[in-house]
């Protein structure tokens, strides 16, 4: 990845997050008594707390997290990168744990089935574990493992953005159905993880690994 193309990575990530960020903002407006901007979900009326935590944390995590992938920001503003990273650990865990909370306490949404329930438990747990492993790695000053795990966590967090595409195109091509919807939702997370693994393992990353590690360690001093 060249420096010029790398500048567009945060822009692309923010664009991918745009649909869930806008939908989440509309949901928060509705919960606070504002106008109904998106279809009401009766499941949230009785227990809005996990929804508020999940949406608010997800918006911050998606938008701030995108700029952690900017090599220019990391290089020129290492202090900002570290401070933002600490905040993102808290936000990311709030996103993952509130997602698990909602999966366990809310009735399943009409039109979804057991498979999606399992996916949500699996990927929510995977996101939380990735953040914890990423935090443990940076405490050991293992920069490469830190970035690897945090990249995976962010990819899982942006699943909703990709799901807007997989469900939309999937239903247009194959029609609706409980199993189809569950699989198309799962495809959103799977695609993001596949892209994350490519990003982590791409040849340019391996060639510059030692240089990045030395620079990052210098910034930690």
Q: How far apart are CA 88 and CA 101, in angstroms?
A: 19
- pTM of the complete model: 0.86
- Give the pLDDT score at 205: 52
- Give the pLDDT score at 209: 52
Ranges of residues in the chain whose predicted pLDDT is under 50 = 210, 215, 217-218, 221
Q: How far apart are CA 47 and CA 106, in angstroms?
A: 9
Cβ 217 vs Cβ 143: under 8 Å: yes
Cβ 91 vs Cβ 113: under 8 Å: no
Q: How far apart are CA 188 and CA 123, in angstroms?
A: 11
- Give the pLDDT score at 1: 52
Q: Which two tokens stand for residue 46?
A: 């009785």
Q: Parse the chain into domains and list their residue ranges.
A: 3-220
SS3 of 37, please?
coil
Q: Which two tokens stand for residue 80?
A: 């900002």
Q: Which two tokens stand for residue 144?
A: 């490469």
Number of residues assigned to the chain: 221
- Give the pLDDT score at 47: 85
SS3 of 35, please?
coil
- Give the pLDDT score at 6: 63
Cβ 183 vs Cβ 115: under 8 Å: yes
- Per-residue pLDDT tens for 155-192? 999 999 999 999 999 999 998 899 999 999 999 999 99
- Give the pLDDT score at 206: 53
Q: How far apart are CA 221 and CA 138, in angstroms?
A: 13
């Amino acid at each position: 990845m060249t420096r010029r193309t790398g500048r567009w990575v945060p822009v692309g990530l923010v664009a991918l997050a745009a649909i869930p960020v806008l939908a989440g903002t509309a949901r928060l407006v509705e919960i606070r008594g504002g106008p109904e901007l998106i279809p009401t979900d009766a499941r949230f009326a009785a227990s809005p707390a996990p929804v508020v935590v999940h949406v608010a944390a997800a918006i911050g995590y998606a938008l701030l997290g995108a700029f952690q992938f900017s090599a220019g920001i990391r290089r020129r503003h290492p202090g900002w990168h570290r401070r933002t990273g600490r905040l993102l650990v808290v936000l990311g865990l709030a996103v993952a744990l509130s997602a698990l909370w909602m999966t366990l306490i809310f009735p399943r949404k009409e039109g979804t089935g057991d498979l999606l329930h399992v996916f949500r438990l699996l990927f929510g747990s995977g996101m939380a574990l990735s953040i914890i492993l990423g935090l443990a790695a940076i405490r050991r000053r293992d920069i490469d493992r830190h970035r690897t795990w945090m990249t995976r966590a962010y990819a899982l967090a942006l699943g909703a953005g990709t799901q807007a595409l997989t469900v939309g195109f999937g239903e247009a091509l194959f029609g609706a159905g409980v199993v189809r919807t569950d699989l198309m939702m799962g495809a959103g997370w799977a695609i993001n993880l596949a892209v994350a693994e490519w990003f982590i393992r791409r040849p340019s990353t391996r060639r510059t690994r030692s240089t990045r590690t030395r620079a990052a360690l210098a910034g930690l001093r």
